Structure formats: structure tokens, C-alpha cells
Chain A
Amino acid sequence: MRTRLQIGGIWHVVLILFLVLMLYPLIYALGNSFKSLSESYGTTLNVLPKLFTLENYQAFFNSLPVIRITLNTFFLGAVTTIVKLVTSFLAAYAFVYFRVKYKPALYFLLISTIFVPFTVTMIPNYLFISRLGLIDSVWGAILPQLADAIGIFLITQSMRGIPYSLIEVARLDRLPHRRIMLDIVLPLVRPAVTSTGIWFFITTWNEYVWPVLILKSTEQYTLPLALQMYISAEGGTNFTVAMAVSVVTMAIPLALYIMFQRYIIGTFASSGIK
């Protein structure tokens, strides 16, 4: 029978290999984004450019209003995140600290929103946004997303971790809910709210499905939409520029991840345990 050491060793090799395969595309993108197009033809396998150049990034900035697009993406992310956090926090508080007859039914209703595929809602929402005149506006992209059942769920989990006796003490002091919510509960769930917020931001930043339906003109695009313009199924031109655009699109999410990875992983690590 093989020793533990050998089994462990084999798995480490497997995992490292797997990781290399998973993360190689990112390094590939980074390296190639700094190569000139001509260089990239011969050397697709080489990650590092022989001649470091910014021409791809320049091409990107020249062909599209990149600053504007980045701001759009940022705006979409920030507004959606903040509003979602507020609606989720309030709903979570309601679920945790109130005893109401129809709570189980409402809870079921809430969870069900996760199970509704976007194809069911896309036509009516599109028509509605259109009627509001918000097609091709970032607000049209923001509006349908202002509540999130997963956010409610994550914050609820965190609230349940607060010892109920703290709330009882507050009740004995005749504290109104507003105070309990803001002075006691919120500070104690701040880590969960923060990580949920970061996750919301990253997800919204990366969004494609809804923005592609709503945003039409390049000034209103978000980065993923701009990126999609550089795709061509056959390969061909603009390969290195596509890499540059990819790098720009993933820069912020990656940065946030590197800064907050413990937070982000932590939220999901505890949510899975049932």
C-alpha cells in the first residue's frame, strides 16, 4: 500500500498541473497584451514579450472611449452594489428579527427568484425599460437588479450569528428597531456586508447578459461589452489588442480579489454549510 507521503505527493502534482492550466490563460493574456502583433505570430507559446510594447493598449484607447466605458462600468457596479446592500440588509433584518405569520411563504418566494431563468423575465423587462425610455442608459441596466436573494441570504446568515441576548438587552432598554439595526446589528455584521458588497461589485462589473440587451451605443458600454467587440471566432486580427482589453477588463476584479480574498472566500465558505 502506498504511503501517505506518496499519495499526497501525487495529488500535489495533479493539483499544481490543474492550477497551471487554470491560471495560464491569465498569464497568457497579460504577456501577449504587451507584445506587438507581428511578434505574437511566431511566438504564441512564449509568455514574455521580447519587445515590450504598449501599442495594443493605445489601440484600445484610440478606438473606443475607454475612460467613459470604464466609468460606466464603475457606476453600474457601485450603484447596483450600494442599493442591493441596502435592500438586502433591510430584508435580512426583517427575516431574522420579526415573527410574522407568512414568513415561511415569503422566504420560499425569495429563494424562488434564484430559480427563475433570465429568459423568463428578459422580454417583459426589456419592454418595460424601453417604455421608461431607459434603453441605452446605464440606469436601464441598473434598475432590474436592485434586489438580490443571495445577498439577503448571506446577510441573514451573518445576523443569525449574533447572540440573541444582545437584542434582548436592547429591547429591555426600549430601543426602537432603527437603533438596534444601525447601532447594534450593522456593526456586528459589517464583515459579511463588506464581503457581500465586494462580491456584488465584482459580479456586476463582469456582467454581460442584461447590459448587452440594454446598452446599444459604445459610449454607454461597459467593459465586457467593449471587450466582446474584439472577439472573432476564427482568430485573425486584433489578437493582441483583444488581450490588452481583457487585461483592462479583469484588472479591477483581480485587484479586489487580491485585496479581499479572505473576505470573499469566507462568505461562501460559511454559506454552504447547511
Chain B
Amino acid sequence: MAEIKFEHVSKSYGETHVVKDLQLHIRSGERLVLLGPSGCGKSTTLRMIAGLEEITAGKLFLGNCEMTKVPSGERDVAMVFQNYALYPHMTVAKNITYGLSVQKVPKLEIKKRLELALEMLQLNGLENRLPKDLSGGQRQRVALARAVVKRSKFFLLDEPLSNLDAKLRVTARKELVNIHERFGQTFVYVTHDQIEAMTVGQRIAIMNEGRLQMIDTPENVYHKPANIFTAQFIGSPPTNIIPVKWEGRVLWIGSQQFNMNEAWEEQIVQAGCTEVVLGIRPEHLQLTKDPVPDALQCTVINVENQGRSYGVYLQLNETEIIALSDNGAWIPGETVYVQAALERMHLFDKATTETIGYPEGVHADDHLHQHECVH
């Protein structure tokens, strides 16, 4: 009904390829976040849904109809822009209702929708103000209101919160989810902020350099990253990626031995890999001063007080890794020992950088308790 399908869609400007062979299926009525670093193509993808960017190759379907070449006005899409794009010469009320009045929506209906939007977004009393007399947060809500009154099937947001300060963002996120729950539209939301993505999205689509890296729930994106990029992009501090040499049940890190179990060995064999890369999140490393069986020896490089915990930078043979610790009593140069649980590690195929999968039970009961979940 209101699903979005990209079939082998590419977008290029002359020689530059901004989006490459995108296969993306957004479910009807879901809240999907497009996440990625600058220049990854997420905004372009969003704009292709809106019809503001021409699709160079491939097909786009909105609700089962092919819309590849349909002009934006006929796609039933509402969009909130990063800079809000409010008409500077129109009042708040006019900004919100202008589109509807041109569409010849009956006056009574316009009034009803306007009142509802003002109410929902706490804009009552501001109807007759001009955008220049509004604060950033108020302008953002007007932009939202304008999109909401359209009652369109698709609701697109291009980094709508990036110009707000941190405190406002938290309330704004809640407002957005409220809107979604109220009207049930298909939400596509672009951001480069991970926390926003994790809290707002029901699914997250991660993009890098024009390609889709992974699309899945926030939990899976965090705990079962599909490739090295995702593992390193999501989470702060980023996942440690350690080059290893695989030999049966052992991963050699230089001259040190990291022992796996049968399940993992099976996993690698099944995946048909020859070489792997080890990934482990800083918070999943246990740090001790005394040698412990199955631990790896490292030297402390540096300790950073990150507020909630301490980031300890370690030299593990040739690789620099980070571990998180509750106390900061680590001295640069001292020898320490790290342990990594087998249920917390990730393995990636060295050639393709893709995950080789996870044996049964690994990351099974992980939850995102560190982040506020709004579902």
C-alpha cells in the first residue's frame, strides 16, 4: 500500500556516481532511517523518493506503482527539509495551509487540519508570526506541521533535527514518533546521527559511498553488523577490528593465541572463508592487570576520561585497540591483559568484509540497554 521499493537504482551526476545499484525495500507504514556519513548518498536517495532528483538508472516503486519518472507533485509525498524551507513572507498559518489551499482542499477541512497540527506541535498562539520571528525549534515544528497537514502516504525528513540544540532534539524526536503513530505514514528519515537513528528508526538502512551496507533493526545493526563498515560506523567508541591469522580453532594475533570454540570454527568453514578479521566492541573487552587464561597481552598507550567510562587505548601486537573500563587506574606503558568473550565477538571475511554470520546463541540476548528505545 505505502511501501517503497528501489530496484537497481543508480544516480550519477556525469562521472560521479552518488548512488550505486540500490536495492531497498521499505515496508508500508514503517519508520525507516537512512544513516551514513556525509556524502554516502542518503539524502540523494531520499530526494529520489520525493522526485526532486532524477533517477539515472533503475526503477522506483511507491506503493506498487512505478514512479520513476512521475513529477514530485503527483507522488503524494510530504517532506521536511533540513533548513525547514519556510516561506519567509508568509505567516505560520499561511505556511502550513498554503499547499492545501492551492490543492483546493475545502476551507473547513483546511481549518480542521491546521488546528490539529497547531495543537500537536504546540504552535498555538504563533499562527500570525513570520518565520523570522520564530526560534529554531519553533520553525522546525512549523515545517513539520506543514508536512503533517498534507496527510500524504509518505513522509520524508532530511536531517530535520540537525539544526536544533541537544536538549530540543530529545523532545523533537518524541514528537516525530508521535506523529508517526498518529497517522501511520511510511516515514523515511535521513540522519548522520547514530543516536537519532537508533531511537527513532524501526529499521535502519546504513549507506556508505552510494551503496547500501545493511538494513535491519537497531538491535541487529548494533549487535550483528553485516560488514566491517557497519561494525565500525555504529557505536562509539567504534568496534575494534583486528587482523588475525586463522588456523583451525585458533586465531593468531601476531604470536598470541586467541582460542575459539567449535561453533565458531564451524561457522568459518561453512561460510567458505579462507581469511578472517576479528571484531570486538570496546565495551565487551575485560581488562585486568594480572594474567588470566585465554587473555591477550597488551600495552597501555593512553587513557581518556570519556565521562561515563574510561577509554583505554592499547597496543595489541601491531594493532591499536580500545577498551572501556570503569576505572582509570591504567598507566601508559604498563602491560595489561584483555579478555574477549566468544559470545561477543564478530568475524568478517577478509576479502569481502562481510560478516560470516553468528553461531546459535551468540548475541542472542543482547539488548540495547544503553540507548533510549522509543518503539
Contacts and interface: CB of A to CB of B under 8 A. Distances in A.
> Is chain B found bound to chain A in the same assembly?
yes
A254 B192 CA distance: 56
Interface of B: 50-52, 71-75, 77-79, 81, 83, 85, 87-89, 98-99, 102-103, 146, 150
Contact of A173 (B73, B81, B88): B73
A15 B42 CA distance: 57
Nearest to A162: B88
B87 A166 contact: yes
12 contacts: A165-B81, A165-B83, A165-B85, A168-B81, A171-B52, A171-B71, A172-B79, A173-B103, A173-B150, A174-B103, A175-B99, A179-B102
A168 B88 CA distance: 15
Interface of A: 163, 165-166, 168-175, 179, 183-184, 187-188
B18 to A, nearest CB: 17
Given A165-B83, A172-B99, 10 more contacts: A163-B83, A166-B87, A168-B52, A168-B72, A169-B99, A171-B51, A173-B98, A174-B73, A175-B99, A188-B89
B85 A163 contact: yes
Contacts of A187: 89
Contacts of B79: 168-169, 172
B304 to A, nearest CB: 40
A55 B89 CA distance: 52
6 tightest Cβ-Cβ pairs between the two chains A and B: A174-B73, A173-B99, A165-B85, A187-B89, A165-B81, A169-B85
Given A165-B81, A179-B102, A172 B87 contact: no
Given A173-B103, A174-B73, A168 B85 contact: yes
B119 to A, nearest CB: 22
A183 B89 CA distance: 10
A165 B71 CA distance: 16
A183 B102 CA distance: 11
A172 B50 CA distance: 7
Nearest to B156: A172
A179 B99 CA distance: 11
